[in-house]
Amino acid sequence: MTNSPTTGNDLATPSRFALIVLGIAVVVFVVALSIAPSPAVDLFWQMRTGQIIVSTGHVPHFDTFSWTRNGHPWIVHEWGMCVLLWSTFKAGGFAGVWVLEAVLLLAIFLTLYLLLHRETRGAPLTAFCLTLWACKMSSPLIAPRPHLFTYLFLIVCIGILLAARRGNPKLLWWLVPTCVMWANFHGGVILGVGLIALFGVCDLVEAGMSRSGTSTIGSGPLPPNPAGTGLVKPDLEIGKRQLVVAACCAVGLSINPYGWHIYEIFTQTVGNKTMPSFVSEWSALDFHDPLGLLFEAMFAIICAGLVFTRESRSLAEIATVVLLAHASLTASRNVPLFAFAGLLVTARHIQSTLDRFLSRKGEDRPELFGPRPPSVISVVVAIAVVAVSTMTAVDQMRRSPDRSSGLAKAASTSFALHYFPADAVRFLKTEQLPADWRMYNDYNLGSYLMWSMPERKISMDTQTDVFFGGVLDDYARLDQQPFGWEKILAFYHPDFVVMSAAEPQARLFYTSPRWALVWADTADLDSSGSSNALIFIKNSRENASVIERCRRDCPTLVRHPEMALQGATQ
């Protein structure tokens, strides 16, 4: 099959067929990506918080889940998402939560796809490739978490900013209700307000430079693009309006149950130095990791687009790329933000560079990466992406140990529910340890333990802003397995410990005669794919009978009594 010759006017008309076909492939790719297993370690405390908000009609202001920070001030800046997660779980269980996650992901990436299609002047294949690239860069952080709303609202905000600069500045006022809504779902709204202000400042500076006759960012030897995007050159008026809107958005953030205190989340989180030491998404980007390589390649493409573009560059675009690239290098959790914002503000330059180097003589734009890619190629690319994505998702579900089917199977696989210590929790409930015993727990398991044993208080969980300070610092120090670890732990006086065998601290308890192992999911302490929960009880004469009874009731220790030798009663 051959395509009929196209005229210049035909080539300038975007292909709706290619846009729809590739859009369907985006949908399948995103849904398949949402099935990739990743332990949903935050989900349980968020649902529990949502349950409390719904049942009481009030948001929490103090921590009530832990005994280490009981009564400590707590700002649940993501309270809206907590309510949404609990309501969805109540209606449809984990399957309902997975559907909610999939819907949010589709809203994020379809919005990104359509905006990239607009920014590339109707080039479906370019928009498709950039969208899938952003999907892969976001995949390590895909989970039913409040930051999904930050992804969505960030894309919407940048889309509005770019649309307003095309000659319709009244659109900027839509940013105010957007940010007010955003402020009730995730504290990342502060980034959005900062970007709006950044655009305003940069546009004012650029307009001032232009008036004074100073060379601007967009000047240079490159000829103007004959089919430009219609972007209006920044002027003083639009810069001022963006700053006014940013100020209104900043004030609007106080329209939430915590008022101005929402800004405290930003200062606490950004200033914390402990999180990068033991939470991977807070650590610096690793260029030996696939995510680091994806970031490196995208940064190179964006820079090439800015260098070789025929379109006028904007100071705001360059500042956005530089600042979010720096944020990504310091914390890998910021990589998706760089992908979304960086691609949106530079897509027209990337497309201009493609037009410049791939167009044949006498053509304005290339055929393949232009508005009307060959239909056959669009279909083949879409089918290939759909086939590979579907096979990958099916294989992930087949490997899952869960025996359910349908949406329940998708949820169990996606959230890696087999990772969490359901058997250990049943064991603790059966053994009925004294109610006043303090439980010291694994950081990643705290959320699940809080959810599954609401009658007991945890020592900590992944709601880290509650534990900033001594508790979090001490936990990180214990992770380093220092010689004086017992002195650090003695400050808290725990009575029993629930810890994943994969956690560095587990080795301290397992090899110490002061602690007795009473439960292990499996005998293989080096196994991966599950938490392999271990339970230790303080080894003392007073606890001897409890230790003996628990070991008798643990199938793993009955079959492998040698595992318990290190915990013989002193």
Per DSSP, what are the bridge partners of residue 259?
none
Q: Give pLDDT, residue 360.
A: 81
Q: Is 85 helix (H, G, I), strand (E, B) or coil?
A: helix
Is residue 12 predicted with pLDDT exceeding 80? Answer: no
**Mean pLDDT throughout 311-323?**
95
Q: What is the pLDDT of residues 518-547, one digit of tens each?
A: 999 999 888 765 679 999 999 999 999 999
Residue 378, burial from CB neighbour count under 10 angstroms (0-12, 13-18, 19+): buried
pLDDT tens readout for residues 36-74 = 999 999 999 999 999 999 999 999 999 999 999 999 999
Q: Grade residue 567 by pLDDT with cuts at 50, 70 and 90.
A: very low
pLDDT at 231: 66
Count Cβ atoms below 10 Å from residue 148 Cβ, excluding itself. Answer: 24
pLDDT above 90 coverage of the chain, percent: 79
What are the residues facing 458 on neighbouring strands?
66
Tokens at residue 355, please?
Answer: 């037009």
Instruction: Give the pLDDT confidence score for residue 225 in this predicted structure.
Output: 40
Averaged confidence pLDDT in the chain: 90
SS3 537: strand
Could you write out the DSSP letters of every residue in 422-484? HHHHHHHHHHT--TTPPEEE-TTTHHHHHHH-TTS-BS--S-GGGTTTHHHHHHHHHHT--TT
Q: What does pTM read for this prediction?
A: 0.92
5 burial type by CB count under 10 A (0-12 exposed, 13-18 middle, 19+ buried): exposed
Residue 7 pLDDT grade (very low, low, confident, very high; cuts 50, 70, 90): very low
For the segment 478-497, the average pLDDT, to the nearest whole number, is: 95
Residues 82, 90 contacting (CB under 8 angstroms): no
pLDDT average, residue stretch 114-127: 96
Highest-scoring range by mean pLDDT, 80-89, 232-241, 522-531? 80-89
- 569 pLDDT more than 70: no
pLDDT in tens, 382-418: 999 999 999 999 999 999 888 888 999 999 999 999 9
What are the structure tokens assigned to 252, written together?
């609007």
Report CA dihedral (463, 104, 330, 119) to the nearest 10 degrees. -160
pLDDT band, residue 363 (cuts 50/70/90): confident
What pLDDT, in 10s, does the model give residues 342-354?
Answer: 999 999 999 999 9
Q: Which residue has the tokens 């149950």?
A: 257
Confidence of residue 226 (pLDDT cuts 50, 70, 90): very low
How far apart CA 80 and CA 184 sit, in angstroms, is 5
Q: In angstroms, rounded to a whole number, what is the distance separating the alpha carbons of residues 320 and 338?
A: 9
pLDDT mean over 150-165: 96
Within 8 A by CB and 6+ apart from 62, the residues are 71, 72, 73, 74
The pLDDT of residue 217 is 55
Find the radius of gyration of the CA atoms of the chain. Answer: 27
